[in-house]
């Protein structure tokens, strides 16, 4: 029977065994050495290539000064409020991920996967820098404090932040199998559901030639987040394969249901009813459509079988900054991990 209490990896374990045939996603007997010439999880090698290739810096995104002019003169009051509230939520999400990812990486016993989580934490920090760059350029300095701490005056956002934080904190306080699995699922949901109505808002503005530089920055962030979705989807599938006694599909579907409910509630609240193209009906349909898409990555049946289309048709016209063909919303996220096989090499 698998031990219920989980133990963090020692920094160095001379008695460990790094042989591929003994390697497991968690609960392995690793030495702590990053032995990357012999790897078990081929998807991690592919993901490494994609994530390193996605390197970018917010300073390279031009045009934010034009956004600053539009923010003051062209946005409606509802659009300005949504811009501030959504940025506040995105800032929280990437802040908590930067801090929390090492807490989970300490229990992953495959070095090739630890490597990905380290890159992910770095990317989350870049996202935080990106939001700071947006705030420094686009909004008045007097508004920055309001945006960072929007949750202090908005009970809807505080509720969302506390829910996500609570999942992570529970595992940190009590690191057992059940809390670890819930935490991994929480990571998956954060990366795959929580960001995306906010992303769609910026895309919707850009489709109307508003805040185009902000949307360009968001597209870089979204590209990173898609790889993070794939990482945690694969971790969950490896747990199912190697530790079926820990895997719990009901936990996934129950938590997904809560995530969808909260995402819909928050998005309707912060977007209101006057954002062109983002009606309450569209928010509801899109979030459920997205949930079905994400569950399919885990080979789980849709929670909302009647929802089969993405209502945001205008997003089909928007391509990401890499000029990659194919719309994210119509393309399985796992495509991002299916790069060329490296046959044991980590080089490009």
Q: Which residue has the tokens 């934010």?
A: 64
Active site residue 312: no
Catalytic residue among 131, 168, 220, 289: 131
How many whole angstroms separate alpha carbon 46 and alpha carbon 135?
34
In three-state form (DSSP H/G/I as H, E/B as E, the rest C), the secondary structure along the chain is CCCCECCCCCCCCCCCCCCHHHCCCECCCCCCCCCCCCCCCHHHHHHHHHHHHCCCCHHHCCCHHHHHHHHHHCCCHHHHHHHHHHHHHHHHHHHHHHHHHHHHHCCECCHHHHHHHHHHHHHHHHHHHHHHHHHHHHCCHHHHHHHHCHHHCCHHHHHHHHHHHHHHHHHHHCCEHHHHHHHHHHHHHHHHHHCHHHHHHHHHHHHCCCCHHHHHHHHHHHHHHHHHHHHHHHHHHHHHHHCCCCCCHHHHHHHHHHHHHHHHHHHHHHHCCCCCCCCHHHHHHHHHHHHHHHHHHCCCCCCCCCCCCCCCHHHHHCCCCCCCCCCHHHCCHHHHHCCCCCCCCCCC
Q: Measured between alpha carbons, how far is 5 from 246 in angstroms, rounded to an integer?
A: 12
CB of 46 within 8 A of CB of 113? no
Active site residues: 131
């Amino acid at each position: 029977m698998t031990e219920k209490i989980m133990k963090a990896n020692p920094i160095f374990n001379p008695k460990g065994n790094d042989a591929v045939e003994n390697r497991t996603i968690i609960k392995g007997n690793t030495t702590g050495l990053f032995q990357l010439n012999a790897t078990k999880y081929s998807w991690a090698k592919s993901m490494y290539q994609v994530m390193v290739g996605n390197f970018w810096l917010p300073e390279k995104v031009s045009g934010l000064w034009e956004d600053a002019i539009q923010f003051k003169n062209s946005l409606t009051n509802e659009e300005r409020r949504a811009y501030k509230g959504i940025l506040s939520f995105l800032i929280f999400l990437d802040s908590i991920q930067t801090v929390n990812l090492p807490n989970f990486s300490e229990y992953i016993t495959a070095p090739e996967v630890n490597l990905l989580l380290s890159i992910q934490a770095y990317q989350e920090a870049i996202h935080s820098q990106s939001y700071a760059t947006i705030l420094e350029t686009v909004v008045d300095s007097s508004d920055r404090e309001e945006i960072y701490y929007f949750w202090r005056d908005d009970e809807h956002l505080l509720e969302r932040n506390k829910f996500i934080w609570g999942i992570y904190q529970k595992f940190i306080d009590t690191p057992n199998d059940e809390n670890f699995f819930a935490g991994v699922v929480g990571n998956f949901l954060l990366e795959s559901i929580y960001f995306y109505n906010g992303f769609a808002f910026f895309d919707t503005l850009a489709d109307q030639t508003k805040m185009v530089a902000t949307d360009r920055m968001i597209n870089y962030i979204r590209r990173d987040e898609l790889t993070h979705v794939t990482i945690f989807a694969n971790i969950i599938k490896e747990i199912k394969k190697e530790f079926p006694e820990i895997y719990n599909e009901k936990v996934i579907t129950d938590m997904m249901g809560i995530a969808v409910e909260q995402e819909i509630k928050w998005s309707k609240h912060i977007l209101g009813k006057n954002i062109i193209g983002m009606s309450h009906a569209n928010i509801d349909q899109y979030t459920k459509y997205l949930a079905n898409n994400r569950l399919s990555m885990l080979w789980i049946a849709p929670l909302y079988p009647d929802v089969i289309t993405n209502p945001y048709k205008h997003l089909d016209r928007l391509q990401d900054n890499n000029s990659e063909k194919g719309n994210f919303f119509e393309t399985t996220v796992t495509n991002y991990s299916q790069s060329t096989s490296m046959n044991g090499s980590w080089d490009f």
